[in-house]
Structure 1
Amino acid sequence: MSAEYIADSLQAEIIAGRYRPGAELKQGEIAERFQVSRIPIRDALQLLAARGLIVLVPNRRARVISLKRDEIREIYDIRVLLECNCLKAAIDQMRDADLERISAAFGHSSIDAKTANWSEGDWAFHKALYLPSGKARQIGMIYQLRQTCRIHISGYGILPDQTAQWLKDHQDIVDACHTRDSEKATRVLKLHIEGAGKTLLDAIPRQPNSIIER
């Protein structure tokens, strides 16, 4: 069993919330689960660290990333800048085929919105919005930031509780794309991302400025 397979499996579990932010990934337990030695486990943890999902600490310990409230706010601020910029550039380049893909992704995400697959559907919709921009690196950065947010959303057992409003935001963005109204689309997107950030921060228990030992 390869280190990459183990890393992918652990990543899926982290994203799904099996491991909370700050939780320790114990090499011995993971090795026993996968019926392998600790060598591929160490390699898998290195891969997860490189992906920004865990941090490696002294004595060969690994913990799921755990951000302070101010760091989470910063991530959402960065997301606003990157995603709004990407959407504006994308609208300038959208063709009919792009609009069809966006509408289809919106339809699928609306179905997934109240299921365990809500995050995958949400990303598929946003990715469809941003792809016409041609900013592949920027989209990659957006994806990584969204993954970090997802770890904390899932880790704290938070499910979207404003689904109707968020789907309305998506519909408004789609409509603005069809009319090439980049100002309206980016305005709605900004409020959409800020609202998601507030929902997460409101759900995290308030503690001294560090959530869990890092």
Structure 2
Amino acid sequence: MDEDPPSTLEALRGLILRGVYKPGEKLGEVELAERLDVSRTPVREALRRLAADGLVEIVPHKGARVVEFTDDELEHIFDLRAQVEGTAARRAAATITDEELDRLEQLAEEIALYALPGPAQDLDRVYGLNAAFHAAVAVATRSSTLTATIDSLFNTVAALRTLNGFDADSVRRSVAHHLEIVAALRARDGRWAESVMRAHLFNARASMLGPLRPTTSDPAVPRSRSDR
């Protein structure tokens, strides 16, 4: 049996998360309707929903565009992710099933296969596997609030294709973190799982934004990527 086509919302979300539309790029209703072979009404509703999720910004009289963040905003997002996903990993250690652990281990091994530098590297595939890994940890918490929060925070950063900024050492650390998170969850050690998840996200933050600066909390000293 053929699979149902994705909804306009999911199709547009996929275009953004796959990097077809870049941060700051305009999202024209007419162009999107033609591309997705739908009317402008579902496109307009999808843009509204994606704006609520933090992936799209709608500017009055100017239309919609893919959201882009300042470095300070990204620092805040990564701090939130470290706190929320660290909490999720700690909670999941007590609630995750053996079947879920097996699935997480499979995802971690596939990430290792396709993320590490070499002929098999396929970062587009890794984006999907990584999203599935983090979502699976969230679901294992049995908390709809944590799951929804993690999904929203993950998508905002995923739109920036963060792995493109990773050097080889950062990729290796990220791969090792996924495998160690599984080990910590199998040990039912919530503190271990939380600490590795937080380190995993701080590794991503450093790869994307560079070294922490003591001036980031000082509003009088602006910070930009060109300043790194």
TM-score range, shorter chain: 0.7 to 0.9
* Larger mean Cα displacement after TM superposition, 179-188 or 4-13: 4-13
Q: Match for 1:120 among 95, 115, 128?
A: 128
Gaps of 5+ in 2: 1-5, 116-120, 211-221
Q: Distance in 2 between matches of 1:36 and 1:210?
A: 39
Aligned partners of 1:26 and 1:132: how far apart in 2? Answer: 38
Q: What amino acid does structure 2 have at the position aligned with 1:192? A: H
Once the two structures are TM-superposed, the CA of residue 143 in structure 1 deviates from its matched residue by 1.4
- CA RMSD, 1 decimal: 2.7
1:1-214 alignment to 2 at 5 Å? 5-34=7-36, 37-59=39-61, 61-113=63-115, 114-115=121-122, 116-153=124-161, 158=164, 160-161=166-167, 162-202=170-210
Distance 1:136 1:24 in 2: 32
Greater RCO, 1 or 2 (C-alpha within 8 Å, sep 6+): 1
- 2: CA distance, partners of 1:8 / 1:92: 32
Structure 2: distance between partners of 1:66 and 1:133: 30
Query: Partner amino acid for 1:178?
Result: R
Letter in 2 for 1:168: A
TM-score w.r.t. the length of structure 2 is 0.76
Aligned length: 202
Letter in 2 for 1:110: A
Q: Which residue type is aligned with residue 90 of structure 2? A: K
> Are the aligned partners of 1:109 and 1:124 in contact in 2 as well (CA < 8 Å)?
no
Using the aligned pairs only, state the percent identity: 30
User: After alignment, is 184-193 or 78-87 more displaced?
Assistant: 184-193
TM-score (normalised: structure 1) = 0.81
Work out the CA distance in 1 between the residues paired with 2:200 and 2:22.
25
Unmatched runs of 5 consecutive residues or more in structure 1: 203-207
Amino acid at match of 1:123: A
Residue 58 of structure 2 aligns to a residue whose secondary structure is: strand
> In terms of mean alpha carbon deviation, does 181-190 or 142-151 score higher?
181-190
